[in-house]
Amino acid sequence: MKDLIQKIENRKAIIGIIGLGYAGLPLVVRFGQEQFRILGFDIDPEKVDLLNEGKSYIQSIPGDQLGDLVRSRIFSATTDFTRLAEADSILICVPTPLTEKMEPDLTYIENTARQVAHNMKKGQLVVLESTTYPGTTEEILLPKFRSRGLREGKDFFLAYSPEREDPGNRDFATKSIPKVVGGITRNCQKVATSLYGQIIDEIVSVSSTRAAEMTKLLENIYRSVNIALVNELKILADRMGIDIWEVIQAASTKSFGYSPFYPGPGMGGHCIPIDPFYLSWKAREFDFTTRFIHLSGEINVSMPYYVVSKAIDALNARKKSIRGGRVLILGVAYKRDIDDIRESPALAIMKLLQDKGAKITYNDPYVPKLHPMRRYDFTMSSKPLTEALLRKADLVMIVTDHSQYDYRWIVNNASLIVDTRNATRGIRSARGKIIKA
């Protein structure tokens, strides 16, 4: 243990990062800034080739940062998992999606754990960062590593530390976001804390990997439940003829006991729409039903249907049908000013509109193309946002409120707008009507 900690503190430890996506790449950059050598692992050869050329495929990770790390030979990427033996510390940042039955799909974690176990060497630290249910580190990773005849806390060190990235949020960087760390043993905790202490300003130690796993789920469930609450209130306020955005603004003036959450067309991103169901699934093992999680999930999943119904009503009021109607979607990323479309509500809305016969086009300055995905079969490209495109559309729907959009110009050129983000607040329509949804 002392040898590994000394190696870490002297910046001599090689950091292996498995999964070079939205969670893994920020760690690559941060360790690189502290002059650690990083070996990145991914199963996608095209992604690996791109990274080895010093090019970023994620908008929030500047290519010049990666380029500098590649040119200085601090960072390289590979698909060869036998090279895991070269690393002193291994961080696992692989996806944890849901199955079609809304149950945890741990395929990526299980496959990665087998690869790590097969290529382990004595003295390595392994940290799982992927969001998952409490018990995953102990129940899936630990037995595989023990099967090699190695002992945790002595022959290897195992911990859990959830990723806390917020793509597109410039107020928080990897370095400044406190890092929660839970080890299998006290020695595991010490080694993991030492590693993250080199790159993160504040380390929050918890008593176990289960506590660390639960911490990440609590963070996301808190947001999911409160977003569901305000979404439900939005629908009620709409029926009552009350502007929910005005209400939220007024309530936000209370300086204690209230934190504002904002309604939208549904939830997106990898974490909030998915993570609560991991705990809900695990709770059944303890004969416990997580009613708040189920209810919030139902409400948030239903929001694209509400948005589409508002679009249909808006067109009907103009004596137009959704079937054959030309609908322009503005923004397909799951939130403003990023290129991430994982679980984006825009995709669900577009699918629902297509199923009803609408002719869909979209514009997103951060997402030039849509490709077929697990639940959606889109092969579309972003159309240049022109006056002609806006005027041609029977309905313009603002789904993602990118700051690049000139909303006053959009309002002046569109005949009918459904605004799901309150992006047009304070703007009066010159040609048409704005529907808040």
For the segment 134-158, the average pLDDT, to the nearest whole number, is 95
- Largest CA-CA distance found in the chain, in angstroms, rounded: 75
d(CA 254, CA 238): 23
pLDDT over 80 (residue 273): no
d(CA 254, CA 79): 53
pLDDT, the chain, mean: 93
Task: Extract the tokens encoding 287.
Answer: 């004969």
Q: What is the pLDDT of residues 403-420, one digit of tens each?
A: 999 999 999 999 999 999
For the segment 150-170, the average pLDDT, to the nearest whole number, is 89
Which amino acid type is present at position 45?
P
Is residue 203 within 8 Å of residue 212, measured between CB atoms?
Answer: no
- Strands of 416-419's sheet, edge to edge? 359-363, 326-330, 395-398, 416-419, 433-436
Cβ burial 321-347 (10 Å sphere, 16+ → b, else e): ebeebebbbbbbbbbbbbbbbbbbbbb
Asked about 271 being catalytic, the answer comes back as yes
Task: Extract the tokens encoding 355.
Answer: 């199923």
pLDDT over 90 (residue 132): yes
Task: Extract the tokens encoding 118.
Answer: 């097969």
pLDDT at residue 294 in the model? 87
For residue 361, the cross-strand partners are 328
d(CA 405, CA 330): 9
Domains and CATH numbers, the chain: 2-207 (3.40.50.720), 275-436 (3.40.50.720)
pLDDT at residue 271 in the model? 66
d(CA 296, CA 294): 6
**Banded pLDDT at 353 (limits 50, 70, 90):** very high
Q: What are phi and psi of 279, to 5 degrees?
A: -70, -40
For residue 418, the cross-strand partners are 397, 435
Indicate which residue of 84, 94, 271, 396 is catalytic.
Answer: 271
Q: What is the pLDDT of residues 293-315, one digit of tens each?
A: 889 988 999 999 999 999 999 99
pLDDT at residue 432 in the model? 62
pLDDT at residue 199 in the model? 97
Q: What is the pLDDT of residues 316-343, one digit of tens each?
A: 999 999 999 999 999 999 999 999 998 8
Residue 399: how many CB atoms within 10 A of its CB?
30
pLDDT over 90 (residue 8): yes
pLDDT at residue 109 in the model? 96
Q: What is the pLDDT of residues 28-69, one digit of tens each?
A: 999 999 999 999 999 999 999 999 999 998 888 888 889 999
Task: Extract the tokens encoding 413.
Answer: 């050129």
**Banded pLDDT at 172 (limits 50, 70, 90):** confident
